[in-house]
Amino acid sequence: MNTEEAQKRIQELSQLLHKYNRHYYLLNESLVSDQEFDALLRELQELENHFPQFKNENSPTQRVGGALSDKFEKVKHEHPMLSLSNTYSLEEIQDWEDRLRKSSEEDLEYVLELKYDGVAISMIYENGALVRAVTRGDGQTGEDVTKNVRTISTVPLVLDANAVPERFEIRGEIFFPLKEFNELNEMRQLEGLELYANPRNTASGTLKNQDSKVVASRGLDCFLYSIHVGEKRFESHFEALQAAREWGFKAPPAEKKYVAKAKNVEEIMEFIQYWDEARKDLPFEIDGIVIKVNTFDLQEMLGMTAKSPRWAIAYKFKAAQVSTLLEDISYQVGRTGAITPVAHLKAVHLAGTVVKRASLHNADQIEKLDIRIGDTVFVEKGGEIIPKVLGVNLALRPDNSSPHEYIDHCPECQTALIRREGEAQHYCPNENHCPPQITGRIEHFISRKAMNIDGLGGETVEQLWKAGLIESCADLYHLNYDDVLALERMAEKSVQNLLNGIDASKSQAFEKVLFALGIRYVGETVAKKLAKHFKNMDALQEADVEALVSVDEIGERIAHSLRDYFEDPEHQKMLEDLKVSGLQFEVEESDLPQSDQLEGKSFVVSGVFSVYSRNEIKALIEQNGGKNVGSISKKTDYVLAGDKMGPSKLKKAEDLGIPIISEQDFIEMIS
């Protein structure tokens, strides 16, 4: 066979095998026997071996895995992969819907989906071919696991390029089917190996395996349920799901009730109640139901919080309970000085994992449940990393039992604890000299959403602190190469990476620096608002309580916390040190409003526009001193209306007498 014939045959076999794969895994149809399929696959493999120049990274032969990976590259997501807010009751779902109805006058329709207990994945396709698959990671940055994802039979490697957008992102969940998971554990048991705890953790570990042949052998599966396309191609999430199935993806099938529409809370609860019972018959694990607003226009109008979308929520099924012996109670000190009591339990299996510790929350909870060392307690893992104690089996309480006395001094530095009025937790006030508070604040400072210092983790922070090299965040910027290299397990390359990461962090925006300081009640969103309003650290430090509460959404609790922080002499010294080290203590010129033409004006943006996208228009409003708001009220100054604006929203604006302007009106307004 000559080169030209080989190239042609490789293309024919690839197209044929992709077709057979799609029909078998997605349409449940066998077009050829297993023997015929294997024979064609062997022929393709042999041709690729003899003519490697024609081997494609999306060849059907990649399903069996290939060479070892030495690392997984970090990749920044084009759109953040936010987590969902969780709810556990009908009342919480009703509260969520009530908030939606206050934000929109339009009729609400929901899409209900199963919450697969697996690993979130984002995949990019270009010209119909899979080019990249990335894990969720921290929501902003994930790991490139493309080579391993290519081995999953239900993930299409190539699509009909004429039927799909030129470039798009699709997201979903990779999971371990129960049949394959149980077979894997049976095999490990026969080999005398430790059994895997649960399908979700095993799926996650498998996806990070450096040998893609191992991944291919495990039989992972994938449901895909969210499409991101540059242009506006679909009106609703449900329509996009239908398109995903038509393109060749394994999207949740409506005929199996894996996905459905609902118009009210009653229909939502019917779906939840059905699957709370029926989930035991599924061939994979789910831990709840995801509820999403269906139309994309309404999703965009509702927007996001710093952590999750406002237009979606996850209902978590009630977790399983077990009872076990409470052997001891210890206390942890957080970075803010908050004291958290922790129950040490006799090891017990719960929801697929071995549980040895559980949260007791605070002194009030211990007193309310009358929890005592030596009790047999009921433990639940209700969506938390650390399980919680729900109650006590009083029938099994020992005769010599005595009430538990909550500590009154810090277990780390022996400082007397305080409890602020109206708060449930006790605190250690020795924030500048209590070891876990010092290291906790530094760990927060270096975290990805704060200063994002590569090459530096919690263990290294602990090591640097114990060696006396750092006492505060500011000390990180005075580390020198020789001192760090002298520490245990420190090689030249890792030291250089650490110092490079510290140096690179100096370019982080002012709002990130403000969040990184770990001021109580100042999260990401509050830090952004404060940075935007005061524009630099000096102005913020000088602001009194009255000036602080005048900022949108800043209340007295936050204001007093800020004043307490800035009035502390040690904090003042550290801030001056950070400023001298070159951190960003003011908003960059490019982030400031370009004009004050819209100062004090609030806008509701709705519909589809021709010159700018909706996000570009919102950015222009802020760049010119205006404010974007999500819903129409008497306080709204303008409604910027594009095509396909909802009629109910239009009517509300007219009823309230709010000026309705076009995109061209807006452009002239800021020109």
Q: Active-site residue 466, yes or no?
A: no
d(CA 578, CA 513): 10
How confident is residue 57, by pLDDT bands cut at 50, 70 and 90? confident
How confident is residue 64, by pLDDT bands cut at 50, 70 and 90? low
d(CA 523, CA 84): 18
Distances in Å between the Cα of 182 and the Cα atoms of 187, 219, 319, 449 are 9, 12, 21, 38
pLDDT for 90:
86
Mean pLDDT taken over the chain: 88
How is domain 102-259+279-312 classified at the CATH fold level?
Answer: D-amino Acid Aminotransferase; Chain A, domain 1 (3.30.470)
Q: Which residue has the tokens 């010092």?
A: 438
pLDDT for 65:
52
Q: Name the residue ranges covered by the structural domains of the chain.
A: 3-64, 102-259+279-312, 321-396, 435-507, 510-591, 602-670
pLDDT for 201:
84
Closest by CA to 551, choosing from 531, 521, 537, 530, is 530
User: Same topology for domains 3-64 and 321-396, yes or no?
Assistant: no
- Among residues 71, 74, 115, 512, the one annotated as catalytic is 115
pLDDT for 150:
92
Give the percent of the chain with pLDDT over 70: 94
pLDDT for 591:
56
How is domain 510-591 classified at the CATH fold level?
Answer: DNA polymerase; domain 1 (1.10.150)
Q: Which residue has the tokens 């024919």?
A: 12
pLDDT in tens, 106-160: 789 999 999 998 999 999 999 999 999 999 987 888 899 999 999 999 999 999 8
**Termini Cα distance of the chain:** 68
Q: Is 48 or 584 the better-scoring residue by pLDDT?
A: 584
pLDDT for 503:
95
Give the percent of the chain with pLDDT over 90: 50
pLDDT for 68:
44
- Give the mean pLDDT of 45-59: 80
d(CA 348, CA 353): 8
β-pairing, 221-229 with 129-135? unpaired
pLDDT for 395:
92
In terms of C-beta density within 10 A (0-12 exposed, 13-18 middle, 19 or more buried), how is residue 667 classed? middle
Q: Which CATH architecture has domain 435-507?
A: Orthogonal Bundle (1.10)
Segments in 358-491 forming alpha helices (H): 363-369, 435-446, 458-466, 481-485
- Neighbouring C-alpha atoms within 13 Å toward the C-beta of 321: 12
pLDDT for 230:
72
- Of 155-164, 563-572, 573-582, 594-603, the least confident: 594-603
How confident is residue 70, by pLDDT bands cut at 50, 70 and 90? low
pLDDT in tens, 271-307: 999 998 898 889 999 989 999 999 998 998 888 876 7
User: What does the block give as tokens for 348?
Assistant: 């017990």
Domain 3-64 of CATH type 2.160.10.10: no
Q: Is 525 or 228 the better-scoring residue by pLDDT?
A: 228
Q: Is 470 helix (H, G, I), strand (E, B) or coil?
A: coil
The string of DSSP codes covering 205-266 is: HHHT-SBHHHHHHHT-EEEEEEEEESS---SBHHHHHHHHHHHT--PPPGGGTSEEEESSHH
Interior angle at CA 651, CA 648 and CA 656, nearest 5: 125
Taking the CA atoms of 631, 632, 636 and 638 in sequence, report the sign of the dihedral they define. positive
For residue 379, what is the DSSP state?
E
Residue 54 has pLDDT above 90, yes or no: no
pTM, to two decimals: 0.56
Residue 383 has pLDDT above 70, yes or no: no
- Of 465-479, 540-554, 579-593, the least confident: 579-593
pLDDT for 458:
87
d(CA 143, CA 369): 43
Burial 577-611 (b: 16+ CB within 10 A, else e): bbbebebbbbbeeeeebeeeebeeebbbbbbebee
How confident is residue 436, by pLDDT bands cut at 50, 70 and 90? very high
* Right CATH for 602-670 from 3.40.50.10190, 3.30.70.360, 3.60.20.40, 3.30.450.20: 3.40.50.10190
Write the single-letter amino acid at 28.
N
Residue 9 has pLDDT above 50, yes or no: yes
Q: Is 36 or 117 the better-scoring residue by pLDDT?
A: 117
- Give the mean pLDDT of 252-257: 90
Closest by CA to 602, choosing from 530, 524, 656, is 656
pLDDT for 397:
94
Closest by CA to 543, choosing from 534, 554, 532, is 534
- Give the mean pLDDT of 541-552: 91
Other residues' Cβ atoms within 10 Å of the Cβ of residue 429: 14
Q: Is 513 or 10 the better-scoring residue by pLDDT?
A: 513
Residues whose CB falls within 8 Å of the CB of residue 471, separated by 6 or more in sequence, listed in order: 438, 465
d(CA 422, CA 262): 40
pLDDT for 646:
73
CATH superfamily of 321-396: Nucleic acid-binding proteins (2.40.50.140)
Q: Which residue has the tokens 């129950």?
A: 343
Taking the CA atoms of 479, 480, 483 and 489 in sequence, report the sign of the dihedral they define. positive
- Give the mean pLDDT of 388-409: 93
